Structure 1
Amino acid sequence: MKEASPLLTYSVWTSYALINFLLAFLADLAQWPPRTWNFWFSCIISTIGTIFTEFPLYVILFKVWMWFAIAIMDVWFAVPIIKSSLIRMIMFILDIFTMSILLYNFYNNYKTRQIILTQTLKFKHYGPELPRITSSKFWLNIMPPLHIPLNIKVFRDITYGTQQELRQVGKENESCLKLDIYVPKYIQKIDSLPIMLFIHGGNWMSMDKLIPFPQPWYLSSNNWIVCSINYRLAPKNPYPACLIDCKRALRWIKENIVSYGGNPSFIAVSGDSAGGHLAALMALTANDKRYQPGFEYIDTKVQACVGINGIYDVTNKHNVFVPSFIEWFALKICGKSGDMNEKGVWEMLEDASPEVLVKRKGNLNEEIVPFLIIHGDNDQLVNIKSCREFVKTFRINAPNSKLIFIEFPGAHHGYHFVSSPRTHYSMIAMLRFLNWAYHTSNNITLND
């Protein structure tokens, strides 16, 4: 076999050394606990963390491939500098360090199964079994990073606003008043399946319904109809424009979903991050006329809520976010001055905080729809402490209402964006919870 040129050998060695150091650093960075970082730095850590915690096996395979490349080219003995036992030892320690973190991340990912098993024990008959690592389903359906079921039909870009509303929002915002409907491919129009209204996140200022979240695909492949919506984004469209649009979408669903095989009497709402915030507000502001301009007569109750890494307090009363968060939210999202002394600003923040609304409902002894709250304890963008405070407030003020709280160790803000074991296990938890809520609200037995 022809010997590799010295230049190529040195290039391979340099690349290996740099990648080794980089992977070790990034693997360590992914484990850093949440802090009040700069927003963009938090986004970077969150993205890196998601890759290293949700796809550890792929990173491990990449490292193994590097080892084989090094071995095949005989780099260890061809480059004088790495004949040194010290250099070899450093590389070996880096490899062991990185691989240990990656294997620990995979263990944490798989440990989600036991957490879901415990937290949804009462609902286990309302959804599929949680596949074990030894099952073929785990490796064929859960491990591929982009697993999209083939038994789904999607109706894209359906306008949910009225003609008058489209004129009001202007041509530049018309695409914001659209939704996609995910339905089982072989559904009959005489069917009457429960509905999930899914609200994307994105800091209230970005993202779109077209992002391929696994949740709509998974639920619709399990006999749910999912409506994934767009809404007007800040700062061009200050809050509560986004909440009003969510309720407009709900109105359209109630009036039209029957023709797609849906049951308008059971609509659950879900969202991630800012979408989780809006989903919680949807569940807690039913029939609030302030958020239903022109359709005050429509019943905007939902029957269940699922929040994924959501924000439940924008007043920051627990000092979980950076001190400037409330000024930023008032200025960028609500279109106010950012001065908390300005008339109506603090009241608006309280009205936009699900935690405050739960307290108000508790004071009035009002029942709250069932909630499933899912959050990663290594969320760099929405500190889990805020979520824990919401759960505590909910359980104190609404003891007769159902709330399931599932906390995932090591999970970052964007864990649910990808098809990983943790994501699939969390979707099974969501399906079990939603099926339970649907069956109990309609007094349906599992044999019906």
Structure 2
Amino acid sequence: MLPLLLVPPALSTAFALAPVRRPFAAAAAGWVVSLPALELPVHTGIGVAAVTAGALAVGPVTTADRVGTGLAALTCGGLAVVLARHRAAARVLDRAFEGFAGSGAVDTTTRTTARNRTPWPTVLLRPWPVRPRSIRARRGLVYGPDPRANRLDLYTPRDGGRPRGVLIHIHGGHFRAGGPSRESRAMLFDHALRGWASVSTTYHLSPTPEAGFPQHLVDIKRLIYWIRTEGPRHGIGADAPIVVAGSSAGAHIAMMTALTAGDPRFQPGFEEADTSLAGAIGLYGYYGRLGAETKDISDPVRHPADGAPPVAVIHGTDDMYTPVKGSRRLERHLRAGSSNPVFYAELPGAQHGFDAVQSPRYLAVVAAIARFTEPLAG
């Protein structure tokens, strides 16, 4: 019985350590199976240890129990490797910032040792981000003509002070699924705690990425316009710096927004609006074309980088859904054409969707993004 109980976490750990690359269907299935071990290695290890100890405590030890104990030991060893990769993320992110030291592009006031310290009580006891009581939430605000597609959740400090800036997060979902406040919640809450207005938004979804282009880009630009014009009604200054972040498909939209500021093709009805950004952030994003018919305008790399704001691109080395080579391509484009700083980091062993739970890895990402956005605040 014990070996059967331990097969699921053992498989999850195996796929976390050695992800399937192809075919895509098998890679996607392997990714789903790997998620418990990949994102919650400590909790998975505790579960394996508890199940094993419970089985050994109820009667004579059988051959099956010995086999199960060996499987448990191998699984816990693998989980230790996964956890080591999590903890390595902080060092990788810190090294990525070294090129910015003294440039004013990032926060350099926090000591490295403090930044790299894992907040274990949060990791162990609060893996799912919960909104702190000091943050006020206003959900389902409408920013455009479609009350279903043009919705946002707004998080602001409850003390009522004027926000220092606005962080917009755009969800992923292959442009056809998803909703606000499901991804990057820890990042949104962290910014609200630091005096920002955090916005989690949705946009028009579509059967295929190309079918929805450029409407989803228009939506985010309309949201920026809404913040400029309607933000004061919600305590946000009309001149507040705006940073746009996105996960997966949302990262594509975020980078397109950063590279097409003021482009009238993507601002119908509000062509004169200022849609420039103080910064842009992409997490495990896809940065290629959305289809053959729109390849010249839907590919971020086909837009000049000379007007790009400071950009942060963070990707996992093991991402099977949006391979890291797309982020490398974007980084080269930005560094070649932009006069603003580009922060780029590859997280060892990270897969797609690493911003769901408060793992050591994602909390290191949240801390790094705080360093990136702090100098951009008003």
TM-score by length of 2: 0.90
- What SS class does the counterpart of residue 206 from structure 1 fall into? coil
Structure 1 or 2, whichever has the larger Rg, is 1
Aligned residues of 2:156 and 2:163 also touching (Cα < 8 A) = no
TM-score by length of 1: 0.76
Pick aligned residue for 2:298 from 352, 359, 362: 352
Pick aligned residue for 2:232 from 258, 263, 273: 258
How far apart are 1:271 and its partner, in Å?
0.5
- Give 4+ residue runs of structure 1 displaced > 6 Å after superposition: none
Task: Summarize the Cα distance change of 1:24–1:192 in structure 2 as closer, same or farther, 3 Å threshold.
Answer: closer
Alignment deviations for residues 353-403 of structure 1 (CA, whole Å, 9 cap, x no partner): 11221xx34xxxx342100001111111100111112212222233x3210
Counterpart residue type for residue 189 of structure 2: W
How far apart are 1:274 and its partner, in Å?
0.2
Q: 2 CA distance for matches of 1:427 and 1:111?
A: 14
More helix by share: 1
Residues 256-335 of structure 1: pairs in structure 2 closer than 5 A: 256-265=230-239, 266-314=241-289, 329-330=290-291
* Runs (5+) with no aligned partner, structure 2: none
Aligned residues of 1:374 and 1:407 also touching (Cα < 8 A) = yes
Alignment deviations for residues 263-310 of structure 1 (CA, whole Å, 9 cap, x no partner): 343101000000000000000011111111111121111110000011
Counterpart residue type for residue 217 of structure 2: L
Alignment deviations for residues 115-167 of structure 1 (CA, whole Å, 9 cap, x no partner): 2232235334356842524xxxx122343212322211111111111xxx34x
2:63 maps to 1:120: no
Pick aligned residue for 1:99 from 76, 91, 94: 76
Counterpart residue type for residue 97 of structure 2: T
2:360 maps to 1:378: no
* Runs (5+) with no aligned partner, structure 1: 1-13, 167-173, 315-328, 331-339, 443-448
Pick aligned residue for 1:246 from 211, 220, 236: 220
Counterpart residue type for residue 372 of structure 2: F
- What SS class does the counterpart of residue 175 from structure 1 fall into? coil
Task: Summarize the Cα distance change of 1:264–1:197 in structure 2 as closer, same or farther, 3 Å threshold.
Answer: farther
Q: 1 CA distance for matches of 2:110 and 2:176?
A: 35
Pick aligned residue for 1:411 from 328, 350, 353: 350
Count of paired positions: 364
Q: 1 CA distance for matches of 2:109 and 2:329?
A: 29
Aligned residues of 1:195 and 1:264 also touching (Cα < 8 A) = no
Indicate the percent of aligned positions where both proteins have the same amino acid.
23
Q: 2 CA distance for matches of 1:142 and 1:19?
A: 25
Q: 2 CA distance for matches of 1:275 and 1:96?
A: 39
2:199 maps to 1:231: no
2:150 maps to 1:159: no
Q: 2 CA distance for matches of 1:428 and 1:415?
A: 14
Q: 2 CA distance for matches of 1:305 and 1:380?
A: 23
Aligned residues of 1:50 and 1:413 also touching (Cα < 8 A) = no
Aligned residues of 2:28 and 2:321 also touching (Cα < 8 A) = yes
2:58 maps to 1:73: yes
Residue in 2 that maps onto 1:215:
187
How far apart are 1:91 and its partner, in Å?
3.3
Residue in 2 that maps onto 1:430:
369
How far apart are 1:27 and its partner, in Å?
1.1
- What SS class does the counterpart of residue 237 from structure 2 fall into? strand
Aligned residues of 2:156 and 2:196 also touching (Cα < 8 A) = yes
Q: 2 CA distance for matches of 1:92 and 1:223?
A: 50
Alignment deviations for residues 206-231 of structure 1 (CA, whole Å, 9 cap, x no partner): 01004253221121112111111111
Q: 1 CA distance for matches of 2:323 and 2:36?
A: 19
Q: 1 CA distance for matches of 2:52 and 2:243?
A: 49
RMSD: 2.1
Q: 2 CA distance for matches of 1:127 and 1:372?
A: 19
Pick aligned residue for 2:15 from 29, 52, 66: 29
